[in-house]
């Protein structure tokens, strides 16, 4: 759709609808922000819908109007974080070069630690979801497979382009990178005033680049 078409479509939309939708979205966002605080503190299992509603400044009944149960709230929270990350990557150049791959990984870490409560809530839920009975088990299992497959494919393309050494085991390397990212996030969450997570990660990537560059 062109810019002119977009303007035309927007101007033809009833004003009342334009006002109602943002208000609902703002309320939903506020509820998800409140859920992030609660999940970061208590995890999913111990989280209380009443606590989420109290932080958001509404009744539990009001919360249930937007999210009928805690599973729905959890799913919405995971989807929002995933959507935010996806939107950021849409602007990133992904031509098969080592520099672009490093930029991709560096942005992944930056987005992971951009917001401490979100990072902590995500890590808490991720650990809980190691149980296959947890409602987030299939979500994290799918994301694990997708992210590892994407990283391995990108690394394989780098090897084919002669950007990295051909003897690199891309599966092992992808696992190592994600392990460093997960471990650094935990250390940062434990002592955010002592761990400069992005500086440490940048130093790791510099060493990694020297080792794998063709």
Question: pTM for this structure?
Answer: 0.83
Q: Kindly tell me if the per-residue pLDDT of 9 is higher than 60.
A: no
CA dist 159 and 70 (Å) reads 45
Tally of domains in the chain: 2
Q: For the domain that residue 170 is a member of, what is the CATH number?
A: 1.10.357.10
Residue 184 confidence class, pLDDT cut points 50, 70, 90:
very high
- Asked whether residue 47 falls in the same domain as residue 108, the answer is no
Residue 78 lies in a domain: no
Contact 129, 137 (CB under 8 A): yes
pLDDT tens-digit map of 136-182: 999 999 999 999 999 999 999 999 999 999 999 999 999 999 999 99
Radius of gyration of the chain (CA): 21
Q: For the domain that residue 28 is a member of, what is the CATH number?
A: 1.10.10.60
- Asked whether residue 100 falls in the same domain as residue 63, the answer is no
- Asked whether residue 51 falls in the same domain as residue 114, the answer is no
Contact 36, 121 (CB under 8 A): yes
Give the structural domain span for 117.
92-214
CA distances from 213 to 61, 75, 84, 162 (A): 57, 40, 31, 9
Residue 75 lies in a domain: no
Mean pLDDT of 17-40: 81
- Asked whether residue 120 falls in the same domain as residue 49, the answer is no
- Asked whether residue 112 falls in the same domain as residue 6, the answer is no
pLDDT tens-digit map of 89-136: 776 667 889 999 999 999 999 999 999 999 999 999 999 999 999 999
- Asked whether residue 148 falls in the same domain as residue 103, the answer is yes
């Amino acid at each position: 759709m062109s810019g002119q078409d977009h303007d035309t479509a927007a101007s033809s939309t009833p004003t009342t609808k334009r006002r109602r939708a943002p208000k609902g979205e703002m309320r939903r966002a506020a509820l998800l922000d409140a859920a992030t605080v609660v999940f970061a503190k208590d995890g999913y299992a111990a989280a209380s819908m009443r606590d989420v509603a109290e932080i958001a400044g509404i009744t539990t009944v009001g919360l249930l109007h937007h999210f009928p149960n805690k599973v729905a709230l959890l799913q919405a929270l995971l989807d929002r974080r995933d959507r935010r990350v996806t939107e950021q990557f849409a602007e990133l150049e992904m031509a098969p070069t080592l520099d672009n791959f490093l930029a991709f990984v560096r942005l992944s870490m930056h987005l992971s630690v951009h917001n401490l409560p979100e990072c902590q809530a995500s890590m808490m839920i991720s650990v809980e979801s190691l149980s296959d009975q947890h409602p987030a088990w299939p979500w994290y299992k799918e994301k694990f497979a997708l992210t590892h497959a994407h990283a391995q494919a990108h690394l394989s393309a780098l090897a084919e382009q002669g950007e990295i050494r051909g003897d690199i085991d891309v599966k092992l390397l992808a696992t190592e990178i994600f392990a460093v990212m997960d471990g650094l996030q935990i250390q940062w969450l434990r002592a955010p005033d002592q761990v400069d997570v992005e500086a440490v990660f940048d130093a790791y990537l510099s060493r990694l680049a020297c080792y794998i560059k063709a």
